Amino acid sequence: MEQPKIDWSNLSFGYMPTDVNVRCTYKNGEWGELRTTTDTHISIHMAATCLHYGQEAFEGLKAFMGKDGKIRVFRLDENAKRLQSSCRGIMMAEFPEDKFRDAVILAVRENRRFVPPYESGASLYLRPLLIGTSAQVGVKPASEYEFILFVTPVGPYFKGGFQTTPFVIMREYDRAAPLGTGIYKVGGNYAASLVAGDHAHRLGYSNIFYLDAKEKKYIDECGAANFFAIKGNTYVTPKSTSILPSITNKSLMQLAESMGMTVERRHIPVEELAEFDEAGACGTAAVISPIERIDDYDTKKSYVFSKDGKPGKVCEKLYNKLRAIQYGEEEDVYGWTTIIK
């Protein structure tokens, strides 16, 4: 197997072509067989519902080359379930869990030369997506769907990887309505976050933390990751009807508990930021991105979590624990990883 010429240690979070992608078609009320293709394009009807009415959902998960030379995929069953939930949320045909698992295994196996080496600290990002493909002009769900899974090797999502960066709160933007689609991983949520994200970047921030859209009182999440904070021996993270249920956050909560910490999922008023010792953004792409400070653009207050620019001790401990399981350095007592044979 010829190794691709890639500077593994300096990868960013971007797209790079790999060998094959996996497809599956839903027609006449059922999903067909999985197939692989080298074609990176799709041909769909111009009236396909994904193009007009946003019938699109996606997932993000990672495969890691372990210290022992084995490839591990992290919590793929959780991603399979969340994709099904997103499908129900925007009335698309649900992709069966066992097919999802098979598609992940097939995609990683067929692209294994693109799994970054253990020493690089990079990983293979898997991007499954599902779209409505049949023609429709009335606002109705499609009758045909396409599932696609492509992979691409990636480095850190926020610049610098495990380094603190600044974030901002701005009340002029919302990402999702309280009873809207924020809990689903659908493309529309990300379209809704682009202007705010661009504004934050232009001001020098990594990203924006949205507040709850109804009361504008509580921290929700940022455009691509959940929020968590450390207060003494407590791990605190928002409870909200408009944020994505992050699999990374769910894992960190479990790890925090195993470390003897108390875990609280509840509303987090903006002013409480002043009481936190550490804070971070977490997600598959973000892993843990420790937060240097959060500036409140409207009140001009600044909440600082790291004065020396270094990540906090608890963030570091959680990060190391999570990575150790993902890279097979530590026993996976939770059964979170799937080894690709």
Residues classed as catalytic = 185
Question: Which part of the chain contacts ligand PLP (CB under 6 A), choosing from 94-102, 200-208, 218-226, 234-242?
Answer: 218-226
Nearer to ligand PLP, 26 or 158 (CB): 158
Nearer to ligand PLP, 166 or 238 (CB): 238
Contact between 192 and ligand COI (CB under 6 A)? Answer: no
Contact between 244 and ligand PLP (CB under 6 A)? Answer: yes
Contact between 284 and ligand COI (CB under 6 A)? Answer: yes
CB of 30 to ligand PLP, least distance (A): 28
Report the candidate in 231, 263, 227 with the shortest Cα–Cα distance to residue 243: 227
CA distance 254 to 241: 21
CB of 52 to ligand COI, least distance (A): 22
CB of 285 to ligand PLP, least distance (A): 6
CB of 197 to ligand COI, least distance (A): 10
Instruction: Please list the alpha-helical segments (H only) found in the chain.
Output: 49-52, 76-89, 97-110, 187-191, 194-202, 247-258, 313-326
CA distance 252 to 255: 5
Question: Which part of the chain contacts ligand PLP (CB under 6 A), choosing from 20-28, 147-155, 240-248, 323-331?
Answer: 240-248
Contact between 103 and ligand COI (CB under 6 A)? Answer: no
CA distance 131 to 324: 35
Question: Which part of the chain contacts ligand PLP (CB under 6 A), choosing from 46-54, 101-109, 241-249, 255-263?
Answer: 241-249
Given a contact cutoff of 8 angstroms between Cβ atoms, the answer to whether 317 and 259 are in contact is yes
Number of residues lying near ligand PLP (CB under 6 A): 13
Helix (H, G, I), strand (E, B) or coil at 14: coil
Could you tell me which residues come within 8 angstroms of residue 303 by beta carbon, excluding any fewer than 6 positions away? 273, 274, 276, 279, 293, 294, 295, 296
Contact between 246 and ligand PLP (CB under 6 A)? Answer: yes
Question: Which part of the chain contacts ligand COI (CB under 6 A), choosing from 20-28, 164-172, 256-264, 279-287?
Answer: 279-287
CB of 224 to ligand COI, least distance (A): 4
Contact between 60 and ligand PLP (CB under 6 A)? Answer: yes
CB atoms within 10 A of CB 102: 15
Number of residues lying near ligand COI (CB under 6 A): 5
Q: Can you point out the beta strands (E) in 66-193? A: 71-74, 123-132, 145-154, 165-169
Contact between 221 and ligand PLP (CB under 6 A)? Answer: yes
CA distance 196 to 199: 5
Contact between 224 and ligand COI (CB under 6 A)? Answer: yes
Contact between 280 and ligand PLP (CB under 6 A)? Answer: no
- Between helix 247-258 and helix 76-89 the angle, nearest 10°, is 140
Contact between 289 and ligand PLP (CB under 6 A)? Answer: no
CA distance 297 to 319: 29
Query: Contact with ligand COI (CB under 6 A): which of 34, 57, 60, 63?
Result: 60
Helix (H, G, I), strand (E, B) or coil at 290: strand
**DSSP designation for 309:** S
Report the candidate in 238, 242, 243, 320 with the shortest Cα–Cα distance to residue 276: 238
Which residues contact ligand PLP by CB under 6 A?
60, 221, 223-226, 244, 246-249, 283-284
Note the residues at the interface with ligand COI (CB under 6 A): 60, 224, 283-285
